[in-house]
């Protein structure tokens, strides 16, 4: 279950520190971040953005948002979906 820990910041973590919440809340001020930021159960303060944060964007990609924790369980997988399938989302 999740809870809103700041405006437009939802957390699935049972324990989360204030610095991580503040860092995530700061991300929501970017005009490309929409509709909210999500903190996963392992979220913690990071360099630039919190590690364990899902940052949905509109018409933008932020490659550096994965931070210094890349490879912590993320994978790339080819799917049947194309750009046309997700256009306008």
Residues in the chain: 89
Mean pLDDT of the chain: 87
Question: Tell me, what's the pLDDT at 64?
Answer: 72
- Where helices occur in 1-89 by DSSP H, the ranges are 18-27, 83-86
Beta strands in the chain (DSSP E): 3-6, 9-11, 37-44, 51-54
Rg (CA), the chain: 14
Question: Tell me, what's the pLDDT at 17?
Answer: 96
For residue 12, give every residue at least 6 positions away whose Cβ sits within 8 Å of its Cβ, in sequence order, or none: 1, 2, 38, 39, 40, 41
Residue 14 tokens read as: 């049972």
- pLDDT surpasses 70 at 29: yes
Phi, psi of 21 (to 5 degrees): -60, -45
- pLDDT surpasses 80 at 44: yes
DSSP tag of 4: E
Question: Tell me, what's the pLDDT at 75?
Answer: 65
């Amino acid at each position: 279950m999740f809870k809103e820990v700041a405006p437009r910041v939802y957390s699935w973590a049972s324990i989360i520190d204030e610095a991580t919440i503040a860092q995530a809340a700061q991300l929501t001020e970017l005009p490309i971040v929409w509709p909210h930021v999500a903190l996963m159960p392992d979220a913690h303060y990071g360099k630039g953005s919190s590690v364990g944060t899902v940052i949905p964007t509109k018409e933008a990609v932020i490659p550096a948002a994965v931070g210094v924790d890349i490879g912590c369980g993320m994978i790339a997988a080819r799917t049947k979906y194309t750009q046309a399938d997700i256009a306008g989302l």
